[in-house]
Structures are given as structure tokens and as C-alpha cells.
Amino acid sequence: MTIAPKIKSTPSTSFPHKSAMKSSSSPGPLRRRQTRPAALLDDTLAGILAHRSVRGYLPTPLPQGALELIVAAAQSAATSSNLQAWSVVAVKDKDRKSRLAALAGNQKHIEQTPLFLRILADLSVSIALRKIAGRPLEAP
């Protein structure tokens, strides 16, 4: 597995200031501001737009430490108040994967993958903090 290096924001790779944006001259009720992002952003957006889902899995297990690395990378993502209000359940058991596939509308790829990662909302930290603060658990 290859890990992309962190990219430092420099004038050549940062998004242009608002003053550099120009209004679109295209007709229509919606006018969008246009700008020319740096080449790095163009490559990133091209990769996102070219995304496609491939649900064909090799029967080989993940290399040692890969699952931990994947979860650590996910934990590095920003969340509201940095609560990390989610949990990951790794499922290898064929019967459990079959039941999960049935619950998910009979999605066969869930059964076929050697390791299925189920990501769940985990609001226990948020609930505990609200109780400590004396705030109601329900939205107003």
C-alpha cells in the first residue's frame, strides 16, 4: 500500500484568493464564479471525477498491519468537534457477511469480499458529553 505524502500549502498549490476569481460570462439564471486552481487541484478533481466502483475482490488477505493503517487514516479525518463519532466493525465470517448482505438489499459484493468493513455511527461520546453538560439528548 502506498501512502501519499502530505502536501504543504504554498502559493503555487493553494487556492487563489477571492479577488482572483472572475464571474462567468455564460448565459443562464445561475452564474458561477470561475477560477483556475493550481495543477495539483486539477489532478485531484480529475481523479475524483474519474472514480468508478470496482467490486471484484481477490481472495488473498490484507497484508499484516494494513487494516490498522486504513483505520488510522480514517481516524485522521476531521470530524465535528473531533469527536470521531464512528466505529468500524471488521467482518470476516461468511455467515455474518451473508446476513449483512441480505440486510443491505442482497448486495453480493458484501458476501464476496474477504473482509467487510462496516462503519457505524457511534454517538456514545456525544451522548456522554451532553449528559455531563446537562443538555438534552433530543434536538429542539
Position with higher pLDDT, 86 vs 40: 86
The mean pLDDT of 34-39, rounded to a whole number, is 58
Beta bridge pairs of residue 119: 88
The mean pLDDT of 41-46, rounded to a whole number, is 83
First-last CA distance in the chain: 46
- CB-based contact 91:100 (threshold 8 Å): yes
What value, to the nearest 5°, has the Cα angle with vertex 98 and ends 94 and 103?
150
Per-residue pLDDT reduced to its tens digit, 82-121: 778 888 999 999 999 999 999 999 999 999 999 999 998 8
* 15-29, 31-45, 66-80 — most confident range: 66-80
Q: What does the domain layout of the chain look like in residue ranges?
A: 86-135
Mean pLDDT is lowest, of 55-59, 61-65, 109-113, for: 55-59
Using a pLDDT cut of 90, give the percent of the chain over it: 29
Return the pLDDT at 94: 95
